[in-house]
Amino acid sequence: MDKKKNQESVILIIFGAAGDLTWRLLTPGIYNVYLDERLPENFALYGIDSKDISEKKFRDQLHAGVDKFSRRGKSKSEEWKKFESGVNYLQADFTKNETYQKISQWISKLEKEWDSKAIKIFYLAIPPDFIETVTSRIGKAGLARDRKNTRIVVEKPFGHNLQSARELNRILEKTFDENQIYRIDHYLGKETIQNILAFRFANALFEPIWNRNFIDHVQITISEKLGVEHRGGYYDHAGALRDMIQNHILQLLCIIAMEPPVSFDANEVRNKKVDVLHAIRKYNRDDVHRYAVRGEYDSGWIQGNKVSGYREEEGVDPNSGTETFAAVKFFVDNWRWQDVPFYVRTGKRMAEKISVITIQFRPVPHQSFPIEAVENWQANRLVLSIYPEKGIRLRFQAKQPGLKMLLNPEDMTFNYSRAYSGQPPDAYETLLMDVIEGDATLFMRVDQVEAAWDLLMPILEIWDSTPPTDFPNYSAGSWGPEDAEALIAKDGHNWILLQLNKEEDNEENK
């Protein structure tokens, strides 16, 4: 985007500003956008929280967050000073109308000072229980009346199940129009994920083979080494299916499986994605055990350090039956994907932090080479890696140099860090700029959220109503429970991973 393209005035009002999100992600994001000169001259950030801290303390906290988490590293004193002059803090009670009157006064004062109508962004970095309180008061104070210039950003968790997600949507809709609502899924802001759209729809090469005739199956793995850290209280009521599959993983699946959009208009892209969600087979409750696996980590070893089991984590019920690992086999029932399995898995305290999508192609229809030539032969495979490697690998067969015809799998690779210098923007930078510019392409529309919940409800219901008898069932530092291996092995496949820092698979590392 051109520098300073956005010349409008912007007021960013963060509810829950003293919390982790503002410190860790939002401020480093907005600060980098500022350094890139993409924020308008007229920009103000108002943090609102019930925490009793001074404005100075608030600014210092944000400063520390930038120094710690910004992709650019420590800030330069002069630059930060200039930025922080536009940062304000209000210690306030979200339930009091006077809080919203104050906000209204700020807005009027700034718009007068700037002599222009500002884009007002209400960012809800608050627990879901507060959303109704805050949005209804925003409405009551008349703060959402300027439909064109007022936006609301909502963080996950977006509901706990289909019913609560619907309720949340109805609450938001009472005050805001759908096109004012930006539901964040930070995965969609990642460069590597946006690149999948470029890869699929800006190249003629892959589209003709991107279907059931050539693709055997698809795998999506998002594994984390960390446990639940200080988020035990939230996580113990969520679990891996709600925390990762309902949103990030299903969104990735949609990007892989969607039909080509006619344009990159926000609604057109989201229409194509929601079509995928509607085509994904919804399981009967009786089928859940065949297609979904859950796990909970026990204590174990990670990089030589002993780590606790999930039930020993802070904020977690010592008898918890919450899954910290989930794997599901999905089918997309349409012409393009009928009978092609999409295996997805995610978990905490696993052996590596990896986010990767693998498109496994079918074998060649006929093997013309002699048996000894094809001992190492592997079907083509496309690996779209999001983390830690950021790039794309296409596996194909090559002749090993020598007098004999011997085939070996080799990779053609595209690697971001080798191809481009400098750091790509973080997801929050991209997403915050999109909100400012009013581009909702990378945000979850109401029907996407509800369709994703609807799809998972049978699994959630069965898991919630039948406590697991074998938890904990995987050791920290492993690749999850054995049942997850069985889920894919019974179809004759195995989970494919990239071996870190090597050019090979790490199948032997599993």
Q: Given the rule CB under 6 A, which residues bind ligand BG6?
A: 224, 243, 355
CA atoms of 476 and 304, how far apart (whole Å): 12
Q: Which CB atom, from 149 or from 251, has the smaller least distance to ligand BG6?
A: 251
Least distance from ligand BG6 to the Cβ atom of residue 313, Å: 13
Which residue has its beta carbon closest to ligand BG6?
243
Least distance from ligand BG6 to the Cβ atom of residue 65, Å: 16
Give me the catalytic one of 186, 248, 278, 366. Answer: 248
Position 434, amino acid:
D
CA atoms of 492 and 330, how far apart (whole Å): 16
Could you tell me which of 193, 107, 201, 207 has the C-alpha nearest to residue 149? 107
Position 212, amino acid:
R
* Contact by Cβ (8 Å): 107, 118: yes
Where do we find the tokens 């039956």? 321
Q: Which CB atom, from 9 or from 355, has the smaller least distance to ligand BG6?
A: 355
Q: Which CB atom, from 220 or from 279, has the smaller least distance to ligand BG6?
A: 220
Least distance from ligand BG6 to the Cβ atom of residue 347, Å: 10
Least distance from ligand BG6 to the Cβ atom of residue 31, Å: 19
Where do we find the tokens 């059931």? 212
Least distance from ligand BG6 to the Cβ atom of residue 84, Å: 27
CA atoms of 390 and 374, how far apart (whole Å): 30
* Contact by Cβ (8 Å): 389, 415: yes
Check the CA dihedral 77-78-83-89 and report its sign. Answer: positive
In the beta sheet, which residues pair with residue 72? none
Least distance from ligand BG6 to the Cβ atom of residue 236, Å: 12
* End-to-end C-alpha distance for the chain, whole angstroms: 42
Strand segments (E) across 439-488 = 474-475
* Contact by Cβ (8 Å): 396, 380: yes
**b/e per residue 197-209 (b: at least 16 CB within 10 A):** bebbbeeeeeeee
Could you tell me which of 361, 393, 366 has the C-alpha nearest to residue 215? 361
Q: Which helix (H) or strand (E) holds 150?
A: strand 150-154
The HSE-up count of residue 329 (CA atoms within 13 Å, CB side) is 22
Q: Give CB contacts under 8 A, 24+ apart, made by 210-214.
A: 210/336, 211/336, 211/337, 212/336, 212/337, 212/338, 212/339, 212/340, 213/362, 214/361, 214/362
Output the six-digit token pair for 206: 């892959």
Least distance from ligand BG6 to the Cβ atom of residue 355, Å: 6
Q: Which CB atom, from 216 or from 426, has the smaller least distance to ligand BG6?
A: 426
Q: Which CB atom, from 16 or from 341, has the smaller least distance to ligand BG6?
A: 16
Task: Give the distance, in angstroms, between the CA of residue 62 and the centroid of all CA atoms in the same chain.
Answer: 23
Least distance from ligand BG6 to the Cβ atom of residue 310, Å: 13
CA atoms of 407 and 387, how far apart (whole Å): 30
Least distance from ligand BG6 to the Cβ atom of residue 131, Å: 17
* Contact by Cβ (8 Å): 281, 199: no
Mark whether 248 is an active-site residue: yes
* Phi–psi pair at 371, nearest 5 degrees: -55, -45
CA atoms of 206 and 203, how far apart (whole Å): 7
Q: Which CB atom, from 238 or from 257, has the smaller least distance to ligand BG6?
A: 238
Question: Which of the residues are catalytic?
Answer: 248
